[in-house]
Amino acid sequence: MTRLAPLALRFLALGIMATSLGGCSLFGMNFAFNRMSEKECMMRAMYFESNRSSSEGMLAVGTVVMNRLGDPRYPKSVCEVVGQKNQFAQGVLTKPMTDSGAILASQVADQVLRGQRHPGVQNAQHFHTAGLRFPYNNMFYVLEAGGNEFYEKRTVR
């Protein structure tokens, strides 16, 4: 082994550590995802998806996460639900939370994880930005809150 090999291994180890600390992916593995608490994943979903708008908007997003968690078609943990590809805002588990909205998200996450739900969300497992409309007849809207419209997908007869 040459003298460069140990140096190269050190740089590789440092690169892996830096990547995992930054929440990035290395070889398709997301190291940050595996070390986040359920509360942090919930906070991040509410923070980024509600546009830090209000406790009502955050509670509604948290209710959707929990509705999905209770459905066998979705993953079995808060972090897996929030991290599911193409379901929540891009970077929801990796972007920094940079303003006071994180404090509110923390408080509301505690409430959601203790069982509080937004009654207006009902059984909705989906939402999108308020003001948008799609031509699908299986979308039953139940609530507008926090800049989002929440809806249930129902079978059309």
Contact 55, 108 (CB under 8 A): yes
Answer yes or no: do 104 and 77 share one domain: yes
Answer yes or no: do 21 and 51 share one domain: no
Answer yes or no: do 27 and 41 share one domain: no
Contact 56, 146 (CB under 8 A): yes
Answer yes or no: do 72 and 24 share one domain: no
pLDDT of residue 3: 56
Answer yes or no: do 44 and 102 share one domain: yes
pLDDT of residue 15: 46
pLDDT of residue 28: 36
pTM for the full model? 0.77
pLDDT of residue 71: 97
Answer yes or no: do 77 and 15 share one domain: no
Answer yes or no: do 146 and 130 share one domain: yes
Structural domain for 28, as ranges = 1-35
Confidence of residue 40 (pLDDT cuts 50, 70, 90): very high
Answer yes or no: do 41 and 97 share one domain: yes
Spatial distance between the Cα atoms of 104 and 52, rounded to a whole number of angstroms = 8
Q: How many domains does the chain have?
A: 2
Answer yes or no: do 119 and 42 share one domain: yes
For the cut 70, the answer to whether the pLDDT of residue 10 exceeds it is no
Q: Summarize pLDDT for 89-133 with one digit per residue, the tens.
A: 989 999 999 888 999 999 999 999 999 999 999 999 999 999 998
For the segment 65-70, the average pLDDT, to the nearest whole number, is 97
Answer yes or no: do 61 and 121 share one domain: yes
Answer yes or no: do 87 and 142 share one domain: yes
